[in-house]
Structure 1
Amino acid sequence: MTKKKAIDFLRVTHLRGPNIWTYRPVIEAWLDIGLLEDFPSNKLPGLYERLVAWLPGLIEHRCGVGERGGFLERLKEGTWSGHVLEHVVLELQNLAGMRTGFGKTRSTGDIGVYKMAFRTREEHVGRAALEAGRALLMAAIDDTPFDLAATVAALKEKVDDHCMGPSTNHIVEAATERRIPHLRLTDGNLVQLGHGAAQRRIWTAETDRTSAIAESIASDKDLTKTLLQACGVPVPEGALVRSAAEAWEEAQDIGLPVVVKPYDGNHGRGVSLNLMTEADVVKAYHLAARKGDSEAVIVERYIAGDEHRLLVVGSQLVAAAKGESLWVTGDGVGNIIDLVDSQINTDPRRGTTEDAPLNALAPQHGAEIILELERQGLTAYSVPQAGQKVLIQPNGNVAIDVTDKVHPSIAQAAALAARVVGLDIAGVDLVAEDITRPLSEQRGAIIEVNASPGLLAHIKPAAGEPRPIGAAIVGHLFGQAESGRIPIVGITGSRGTALIAKLVGCLVHLTGKHTGVVSSEGLFLDQRLVTAANAVNWEAGQRLLINRTVQAAVFESNARMILAEGLAYDKCSVGVVTDMDGFEQLGEFYIHDADAMANVVRTQVDVIADQGVAVLNAANAAVAALSELCDGEVIFYGLDPALPVLSAHTGAGGKAVTLHDGKLVVIEGGSDTVILSLASLKPGVIEHPDSLLAAVAATWALGVPLDLIGAGLRSFDPRARAPNR
């Protein structure tokens, strides 16, 4: 125990799955606040004023009061430092751009020692915010300086380094809205939506339906044009060239003005527009060759009009953005760099990070801008006269939403172009004078089809209405009736849970589903032993959920896992609780009595889906009481059909599994159905009747036919060694 006004971290843990605090990942910190136990916030002079001055956003924290300003009310009245730290850490994450709002702080029973948990979307950022929050709070308590700007900047850098990009996060949030789970597979933007065999994968604007052949076609601009033209899609006349001289010759044949671009480029890199002279064409050729992967360059007819980016998802146009030219006006003093910084880069929508819908411009470094300035007889260091207008970038601001204005025939042409190339998500670049009119009425054409298109211009347009791109992509990957979920059975307790998991896995596998099991006996796939070590841990659980062959999964867990890691899944179809024994072995987690243990074990029931089933031991009063917390159905099991809880439940029409006269019986709607006689089972099963009943109830809850359950039980031998894989 510390004996000073300080906050010491005794333990910091990232709980990656559902836990005693919430369904979502949190960081749990055990705090020793030392002498601050005797100094709640109202006894620390100036603390309130300094915190509000540094973190004015605390006004939005509702806290337990339940209304805006609730936390500040608590701060004035007096609350302890652990609770204050919770809110400081949440607000620092918000300032860093990683919005979150959940936090709780509870006493452990030891004087001055608290458990504090807060929601974080990324562990590295959360841990850094925790350290920064302690430093800020201690500076506020001690009335010492604190550099908030530098702290927030460092946290923002961690967000950029470790968090999913804004476009990927937008898709994940859309999946979450549909209750589709997600797993991040790398430190980048590769994300799995759904579990096991029901999963799909995204890599921002690429999916596991995106064809590698289609991506190769899209990167070959000449081949793309050939295919589009063959299918009747309007494209500009042009040709592939391999030298500057050939480029000028082709330009003359096509007719000036022309466009020069890499044949394998993307996102507008190396593209020069509206070229009229040999010198400009030659320079543009060398730029395009440098920006592409080879000397091959496309020269094509220049089409007057505005550039548009049309986003096609599946077979539908879901968003469209228009470009506009960027100009600066000289003042006779500043050079082009200064003018761009003061007239273009000051736009708050521009920046260098992923969450900026528009890029900041650097005229001295951008090859396309340098070439455009040279065509006007200028450089980035030229000083235009007062009032002189200088073109910086033609059509370089494709971020103005025009989705609702697109003519139906243009939308159809864009969707056709994506299909011709073979992309399930495509950015179709089109030039037209008027997007509201058919291309046949103007000199419009599709100039490119891009794989992995940028999404941010549609999610956060510079002007106009944001579009629900994430919902469109999730809808493309999952049908309306699809949830991305597989049947999951979670089993928590300390009595016979490994046998229950093994037996449920065996019975579910008999239905023809590829079934995975993680238990204290190992990790199994279709009853084959894959890993012999104890697999009651988060990592082993993730291995099952990532496996694309797994159609059903069974997870054994216990109170220690819930406290140390959290469950490996967010929701389950069936949750089994056998008992609440063993709190005596959990003193290191400040679990000292049966009530505290019940708060841990209830997590298994809390994660049961709305249409799921809780399987509860009717002989254990504390376990049976969990039925009140279940959002779905309840099946009780017990050796004695006369158990008060069980008989009351079945008397009200509920379901139960029990024994009667040496027979295994299921009860539903007041009617009994005999599955089999215990005498027909192998000895290893008869020795553990409680586990047998729990396994039957869980399998029945999944909809496995009773006759198949009976057949599986007769052949099941728990003593048989599972074959290794």
Structure 2
Amino acid sequence: MTDTASTPPQGAPSPDLKIIETRVYRGPNVWSYDPAIHLVVDLGSLESFPSNTIPGFTERLLADLPRLDQHHCSRGRKGGFIERLHEGTWLGHIAEHVALQLQQEAGHDMRRGKTRQVKGVPGRYNITYAYADEAVGLAAGELAVRFVNHLVQPDPDFDFTTELERFIKQAERTAFGPSTQAIVDEAVSRDIPWIRLNKASLVQLGQGVYAKRIRATMTSETGSIAVDVASDKDLTTRLLASAGLPVPRSDSVRTVDEAVTVANKIGYPVVCKPLDGNHGRGVCLDLQDADAVRAAFPIAAEQSRRGWVIVENFVTGKDYRCLIINGRMEAIAERVPAHVVGDGVHTIAELVDITNADPRRGVGHEKILTRITLNNAARELVRGQGFELDDVPPEDVMVKLTLTGNMSTGGISIDRTLEAHPENVEIAEEAARMIGLDIAGIDFICPDITQPVRETGGAICEVNAAPGFRMHTNPTVGEPQYIAKPVVDMLFPPGAKSRIPIVAVTGTNGKTTTARMISHVLKGLGRKVGMTSTDGIVIDERLVIRSDASGPKSARMVLQNPRVDFAVFEVARGGILREGLGYERNDVAVVLNIQPDHLGLRGVDTLEQLADVKAVLVEAVPRDGFAVLNADDPLVRKMRRRCSGQVVWFSMAEAGSEVRDYIEGHCRRGGRAVVLERSELGDMIVMKHGTRSMQLVWTHLLPATFGGRATMNVQNVMAAAAAAFAAGAPLHDIRQGLRTFNTSYYLSPGRLNELEVDGRHVIVDYCHNAPAMRMLGDFVDKLGESLGASSEAGRPSRIGVIATAGDRRDDDMRELGDVAARHFDVIVVREDVRLRGRKRGESAELITEGIRAAMADGARCRSVETVLEELSAVQHALGRSNPGDLVVLCVDQHQSVLAELESVSHLAQAGSRSGDEGGDPDFVKPDEEPDDAAE
């Protein structure tokens, strides 16, 4: 892709830019280290029209979005993007910058973006750009495309100003409130991870066992009883009075007559307010007589959830909000009710409009100030001051529009944190302790906060749970107070952990088994492990969700679980391409191998491209983390350049080979590695760290390796040992964990499970591609030889049931059949339930083609049959076998297959007791084989 057109385009441009595909990456991905939106767009005819060939395009663009002149683009300086526009750049690139600028208009400071042409497809581009809120980011991309098309050819139904306002309002609706955002920002500054748990303000800070939750300014440490007490103003007043704290005289009532009686008893003026209201709603102040009380009572009662109203004596003075966090006063703000100041020119209504035009004011809590609303109460209050809304007040005369100083009703705040008298601070802190709130807003009414309230008069009117922060973080007058810091200090004291260790495993084959091995080792250390795999989510050895859980959503579910103190994730290619990792970083990344599987899907056509996808895990390793890499795989070896942390190699290469020489040099420089030392006694797994060599275990003594014959599991064991070592596990615990891990159905379902079924030796495995079949075939050859050596009847037959996923390439399916034909005598070809775009029988036919071609080339296989349904194929294979034979079942639904095998075993036991014989009479029995059958 070049920046300018070589020849002038012919014809007129049309608004052909359209979005073909949309993805949301929620973690590190193939395009970026951070969350990003990915759009695949098609320019259509606009491929021939860069920006400098469309008359007036750049001018119209900058007229509507002038702040685009601040974009650096590839030039690395302000105005760089404008230079690109004048020189001529393609409209997909322009849409990227517009999407970023739209988010900035909504208050999201997003700057990262990238546009690249889709290889081999003219006019189609990949656009990626950063986002803070997923919904806002997606809306920005859609609006950017519409806007660019409108600039190419004006659309009479499209008004950019209106659309921009609608977009900004949407962003404000989905954004965190000021209090929540302040806490999240503070957590991010300390490298504390966070997850938004709903569309509102419920947020998790930290991971797993270290997680804390906040909802606005309520936290995991906020007691529900304390919140209930604070919401009951009558109870609050009595508790504070019992502690000798200054409070107004008050009583709770349910009727108008009771309110008048209490007011007469207390003495006028009085206040009527709801017992359990908030945000100043329903509060009526300075009631001078019984008639005023009667008028105010229904207003207060309407805002009371339980129908109770508080009548208390009216305390005169200024309104102060004292913020107490974890028992300490952190901020004090003077709250001034909503008002306007006359200028001798404008009416009160006009002054309100001028005040509301302040860009800091918005609806509700969306901005740091709230717009003033002129309702009936405001009109009555203005009238009480001798004005009407259309009157022009004299210059410098303040006209109150509300009596309460709440920010939510349009008030302003003045910071008084450093001015408060120490005695008043002690009173506020004691009030928070009496109620029991970890974060409390104490409402003080007194003449002057700088003087002791017990001397000047005044009282605590309310204690609020979940107090708003914006009056302190964004005061209208005075210095902002960084009050999110003590909140995060309370939740995560200095030195406290917020992250659980994460080990992520990827590769073409062996991911699930390796992840299970690592989890088993860590479980032996007493860790509560959360593991994801293609079989589901396992929390502390309990399968809690049964599904393919190798994607980012499953990882986030583990990180939300409060029991988990260590995470092990199997990470598949599909999840990375679809959503990214779903978490920020992994402490240990394990890459097992890069093999030709899943090619031809989602734009991944070569092994190098597949390696780029898998390398996302390595790029997500921090500086103090580790990447465990297979030194025997050239594509995995290259990933070392992408790792910010340390590399731990594992290799099955012979001593003296080029790979081993490289590893030896790595270790001499202080690096780590796990290698295989071969001798007459067997193969020893050795861990190396610098100049130290530590013998771990003999491979033939590990149950998962079947006496060392399952070389694929030898490699998996080495990767698991390296990962556990990098994660800090002691050597003897790694050894013990690997010695006790086996491939039984209970520890490793569907992965090299060994069973005895009616005299048949049955292996159940997930093998589904040619590289895995080569490894499985090598194991079958070794296992078959050992079975033949111990058999009195001669050479046992090998029967395999094989299949692959329907979204694999035709050649990959044929290759699977070719490889299988070289290791089995009889092959039964089946298909998965999910055909993945193929017709029923199509995948099986392609595999069969590969088998027959291999048979014609002299392969071992002498019979191939097709039974499409999985359980029927299993039953057929068992029926084709005889006692002593080796039956290998490559399964999709391992639960159903294992249940079927158990059923067959029980029936066979019952049949043997009644004298029945199993086996297929058409199959040649071992004792009838000709003499040359073993050759």
TM-score per shorter chain, which class?
A: over 0.9
Pairs within 5 Å for 1:89-168? 89-110=99-120, 111-142=122-153, 147-168=159-180
Aligned partner letter, 1:313:
I
Alpha-carbon distance in structure 1 between the residues aligned to 2:398 and 2:18:
61
Q: Does the CA contact (< 8 Å) of 2:382 and 2:389 recur in 1?
A: no
Query: Which residue pairs with 1:657 in the alignment?
Result: 674
Q: Does the CA contact (< 8 Å) of 1:234 and 1:445 recur in 2?
A: yes
Query: Which residue pairs with 1:523 in the alignment?
Result: 537
User: How far apart are residue 650 of structure 1 and its match?
Assistant: 0.7
Q: Does the CA contact (< 8 Å) of 1:309 and 1:398 recur in 2?
A: no
Alpha-carbon distance in structure 1 between the residues aligned to 2:337 and 2:501:
54
Alpha-carbon distance in structure 2 between the residues aligned to 1:270 and 1:5:
54
Residue by residue, what CA displacement relative to the aligned partner does 1:8-40 show, whole Å, maximum 9, x if unpaired? 322111122210122322111112223333332
Alpha-carbon distance in structure 2 between the residues aligned to 1:371 and 1:139:
49
Q: Does the CA contact (< 8 Å) of 1:20 and 1:599 recur in 2?
A: yes
Query: Which residue pairs with 2:691 in the alignment?
Result: 670
- Greater Cα offset, 145-154 or 188-197: 145-154
User: How far apart are residue 670 of structure 1 and its match?
Assistant: 0.7
Q: Does the CA contact (< 8 Å) of 1:283 and 1:371 recur in 2?
A: no
Query: Which residue pairs with 2:638 in the alignment?
Result: 625
Q: Does 1:590 align with 2:564?
A: no
Pairs within 5 Å for 1:248-647? 248-328=260-340, 338-339=349-350, 341-342=352-353, 344-365=355-376, 367=377, 369=378, 372-373=381-382, 383=391, 390-396=399-405, 397-582=411-596, 585-640=598-653, 642=656, 643-647=660-664
Alpha-carbon distance in structure 2 between the residues aligned to 1:178 and 1:80:
40
Aligned partner letter, 2:127:
M
- Measured at CA, do residues 149 and 484 of structure 1 come closer, stay the same or move farther in structure 2, by a change above 3 Å? same
User: How far apart are residue 531 of structure 1 and its match?
Assistant: 3.0
Alpha-carbon distance in structure 2 between the residues aligned to 1:405 and 1:333:
36
User: How far apart are residue 249 of structure 1 and its match?
Assistant: 3.4
- Measured at CA, do residues 533 and 389 of structure 1 come closer, stay the same or move farther in structure 2, by a change above 3 Å? closer
Residue by residue, what CA displacement relative to the aligned partner does 1:560-617 show, whole Å, maximum 9, x if unpaired? 32111211221111111122333x7343433344443343222111211232111111
- Measured at CA, do residues 68 and 677 of structure 1 come closer, stay the same or move farther in structure 2, by a change above 3 Å? same
- Measured at CA, do residues 522 and 297 of structure 1 come closer, stay the same or move farther in structure 2, by a change above 3 Å? closer
Residue 647 of structure 2 aligns to a residue whose secondary structure is strand
Q: Does the CA contact (< 8 Å) of 1:280 and 1:375 recur in 2?
A: no
* Structure 1: unaligned runs, 5 residues or longer: none
Residue 450 of structure 2 aligns to a residue whose secondary structure is coil
- Greater Cα offset, 149-158 or 317-326: 317-326
Alpha-carbon distance in structure 1 between the residues aligned to 2:612 and 2:644:
17
Pairs within 5 Å for 1:8-19? 8-19=18-29
Query: Which residue pairs with 1:679 in the alignment?
Result: 700
Alpha-carbon distance in structure 1 between the residues aligned to 2:118 and 2:247:
70
Q: Does the CA contact (< 8 Å) of 1:96 and 1:152 recur in 2?
A: no
Residue by residue, what CA displacement relative to the aligned partner does 1:162-193 show, whole Å, maximum 9, x if unpaired? 33334322222221111111111112111111
- Measured at CA, do residues 36 and 375 of structure 1 come closer, stay the same or move farther in structure 2, by a change above 3 Å? closer
Q: Does the CA contact (< 8 Å) of 1:529 and 1:722 recur in 2?
A: no
TM-score normalized by structure 1? 0.93
- Greater Cα offset, 441-450 or 122-131: 122-131
Pick the aligned partner of 1:32 from 12, 23, 42. Answer: 42
Residue by residue, what CA displacement relative to the aligned partner does 1:623-651 show, whole Å, maximum 9, x if unpaired? 22322332222211112355233111111
User: How far apart are residue 234 of structure 1 and its match?
Assistant: 1.9
Query: Which residue pairs with 2:808 in the alignment?
Result: none
Q: Does the CA contact (< 8 Å) of 2:513 and 2:748 recur in 1?
A: no
Aligned partner letter, 1:678:
T
Alpha-carbon distance in structure 2 between the residues aligned to 1:571 and 1:693:
23
Q: Does 1:690 align with 2:715?
A: yes
Alpha-carbon distance in structure 2 between the residues aligned to 1:132 and 1:382:
41
Query: Which residue pairs with 2:737 in the alignment?
Result: 712
- Greater Cα offset, 215-224 or 171-180: 171-180
User: How far apart are residue 394 of structure 1 and its match?
Assistant: 3.0
Residue 625 of structure 2 aligns to a residue whose secondary structure is strand
- Greater Cα offset, 93-102 or 668-677: 93-102
Residue 393 of structure 1 aligns to a residue whose secondary structure is coil
Residue by residue, what CA displacement relative to the aligned partner does 1:446-468 show, whole Å, maximum 9, x if unpaired? 11101121222222222222222
User: How far apart are residue 295 of structure 1 and its match?
Assistant: 4.0
Q: Does the CA contact (< 8 Å) of 2:187 and 2:488 recur in 1?
A: yes
Q: Does the CA contact (< 8 Å) of 2:329 and 2:428 recur in 1?
A: yes
Aligned length: 718
- Measured at CA, do residues 329 and 123 of structure 1 come closer, stay the same or move farther in structure 2, by a change above 3 Å? closer
- Greater Cα offset, 533-542 or 640-649: 640-649
Residue by residue, what CA displacement relative to the aligned partner does 1:199-218 show, whole Å, maximum 9, x if unpaired? 11111111121111111100
Alpha-carbon distance in structure 1 between the residues aligned to 2:318 and 2:581:
53
- Measured at CA, do residues 221 and 40 of structure 1 come closer, stay the same or move farther in structure 2, by a change above 3 Å? same
- Measured at CA, do residues 389 and 104 of structure 1 come closer, stay the same or move farther in structure 2, by a change above 3 Å? closer
Alpha-carbon distance in structure 1 between the residues aligned to 2:704 and 2:259:
85
- Measured at CA, do residues 587 and 459 of structure 1 come closer, stay the same or move farther in structure 2, by a change above 3 Å? farther
Structure whose alpha-carbon radius of gyration is higher: 2
Q: Does the CA contact (< 8 Å) of 1:527 and 1:722 recur in 2?
A: no
Alpha-carbon distance in structure 1 between the residues aligned to 2:169 and 2:353:
25
Alpha-carbon distance in structure 1 between the residues aligned to 2:15 and 2:250:
75
User: How far apart are residue 42 of structure 1 and its match?
Assistant: 2.3
- Measured at CA, do residues 153 and 704 of structure 1 come closer, stay the same or move farther in structure 2, by a change above 3 Å? same
Q: Does the CA contact (< 8 Å) of 1:259 and 1:300 recur in 2?
A: yes
Residue 468 of structure 1 aligns to a residue whose secondary structure is coil
Pick the aligned partner of 2:17 from 7, 31, 49. Answer: 7
Q: Does 1:69 align with 2:79?
A: yes
TM-score normalized by structure 2? 0.73
User: How far apart are residue 682 of structure 1 and its match?
Assistant: 0.6
Alpha-carbon distance in structure 1 between the residues aligned to 2:426 and 2:642:
51
User: How far apart are residue 276 of structure 1 and its match?
Assistant: 2.2
- Measured at CA, do residues 435 and 565 of structure 1 come closer, stay the same or move farther in structure 2, by a change above 3 Å? same
* Structure 2: unaligned runs, 5 residues or longer: 1-12, 406-410, 750-894, 896-935
Pairs within 5 Å for 1:218-229? 218-229=230-241
User: How far apart are residue 107 of structure 1 and its match?
Assistant: 1.8
User: How far apart are residue 334 of structure 1 and its match?
Assistant: 8.3
Across the aligned residues of Structure 1 and Structure 2, the Cα RMSD in angstroms comes to 2.6
Residue by residue, what CA displacement relative to the aligned partner does 1:229-266 show, whole Å, maximum 9, x if unpaired? 22232222222333333333333433333222222222
Query: Which residue pairs with 2:784 in the alignment?
Result: none
Residue 548 of structure 1 aligns to a residue whose secondary structure is coil
Q: Does 1:86 align with 2:96?
A: yes
Alpha-carbon distance in structure 2 between the residues aligned to 1:184 and 1:71:
34
Aligned partner letter, 1:689:
V
User: How far apart are residue 150 of structure 1 and its match?
Assistant: 0.9
Alignment identity in percent?
37
Q: Does the CA contact (< 8 Å) of 2:551 and 2:576 recur in 1?
A: no
